[in-house]
Amino acid sequence: MAYKALLLDGVDAICGEILRNRGIEVKEATGLSEEDLLDTISEYHAMVVRSATTVTPKLLGKARNMRVVGRAGVGVDNIDLDAATRNGVLVMNTPDGNTISTAEHTCGLILALSRNIPAAVASLKEGRWDRKKYLGTEVHGKTLGVIGLGKIGSSVAARMKAFGMNVIGFDPFTTHERAAEMGVEMMEVDEILSRADYLTVHTPLTAQTRGLISKKNAGKIKPGMLLINCARGGIFEEPDLVAMLDKGIIGGVALDVYSQEPPTKEVMEMLQHPRILCTPHLGASTQEAQGKVAEQIATQIADALENKGFAGSLNGKSIALSTNKEVQPFLELAERFGNLLSQIAPQHIDQLGIAYSGTCASHSQVLTDSLLSGYMKGSVDEAVNLINARYHAESRGLKISETQSRETQTYSDLITVDLGPKAEYRKISATPFGEGDYRIVSIDGFSIEIHLEGEIIIYRNIDKPGMLAATSGALAKRDINIASLSLGRDQKNKQAITAFTVDTKLDQADLEYIEQIDGVNVVKYASL
Angle at 374 between CA 377 and CA 192, to 5 degrees: 40
Long-range contact list for 137-141, CB < 8 A, 24+ apart?
138/114, 139/110, 139/111, 139/114, 139/163, 139/164, 139/165, 139/198, 140/164, 140/165, 141/165, 141/166
Instruction: Answer whether 455's CB lies under 8 Å from 462's CB.
Output: no
Half-sphere exposure for 50 (CA within 13 Å, toward CB): 21
End-to-end CA distance of the chain: 45
Containing 170, the helix (H) or strand (E) segment is: strand 166-170
In whole angstroms, what is the distance from residue 376 CA to residue 473 CA?
35
CA distances from residue 1 to 23, 24, 63, 273 in whole angstroms, order as listed: 10, 10, 18, 57
In whole angstroms, what is the distance from residue 235 CA to residue 146 CA?
13
In whole angstroms, what is the distance from residue 146 CA to residue 169 CA?
5
- Which residues, in sequence order, are bridge partners of residue 439? 431, 451
Q: Please say whether the dihedral angle defined by the alpha carbons of residues 96, 101, 102 and 103, taken in this order, is positive or negative.
A: positive
Catalytic residues: 232, 261, 281
Sheet with 68-71, side-by-side order of all strands? 25-28, 4-7, 46-49, 68-71, 90-93
Per-residue three-class SS string for 36-62: HHHHHHHHCCEEEECCCCCECHHHHHH
- Which residues, in sequence order, are bridge partners of residue 434? 437
